[in-house]
Amino acid sequence: MLLDILEYPDPRLRKVAAPVAAVTAAVQKLVRDMAETMYSAPGVGLAATQVDVHKRIIVIDISEARNDLRVFINPEILSAQGELECEEGCLSVPGYYDKVVRAEKITMRAQNEHGESFELGTDGMLAVCVQHEMDHLVGKVFVDYLSPLKRARLAARLKKKQRLAS
C-alpha cells in the first residue's frame, strides 16, 4: 500500500521516532508499504518518520536494478570516520538538491525485517543514505545542514509552490 510522504516544512517531520519493541507482523507490513512507497516515489531511502509513523525504521535500496532492499530497524551508528561531501535530495523536499558533508565510513548495528540483529560496516553512497535516513528518526531534515540563506530561499520557494497549488 502506498503511503503519503510528508513534505518539508511539515512539523511532523520534527518528531523523534520511538524504538521498535518487537518486530511484529504489523511492523513487517509497514516495512513492505514503506518499500513500495520508496520505489514508487522514486527514491533510494525512506524513514518511517517521513510517512508519519514515528518508529525507528528505515528502508534503503541504492542498487541500479532496484532489487536490493535493505531494512534497518532500531539503527544506531557505532562509529564514523572521515568526511564526504555529496549532493543529496529528499523525498520530503521534492525537487531540491544540495551538498551535505557526512561521515565517509560508518559501522552500524540494527535489526532486519525478521528481528535479527546485525552489524554493518559501509562507506560511500550507502553510508550517506543511512546517515540521511537516520537523521529523520531524530527529527532532522537534510536542509538543516544548509546555510540560513539557502534555507530561507527554499522556504520562500516552497511557500510559493503551496500558494500556487491551492
- List active site positions: 133
Distance of alpha carbon 107 from alpha carbon 113, whole angstroms: 19
Is the Cβ–Cβ distance between 86 and 49 less than 8 Å?
no
Contacts 24+ apart (CB under 8 A), 27-33: 27/55, 27/57, 27/73, 27/113, 28/113, 30/55, 30/57, 31/57, 31/59, 31/71, 31/73, 31/113, 33/1, 33/2, 33/3
In DSSP terms, 46 is beta-bridged to 59
Element (H, E) at 71: strand 70-81
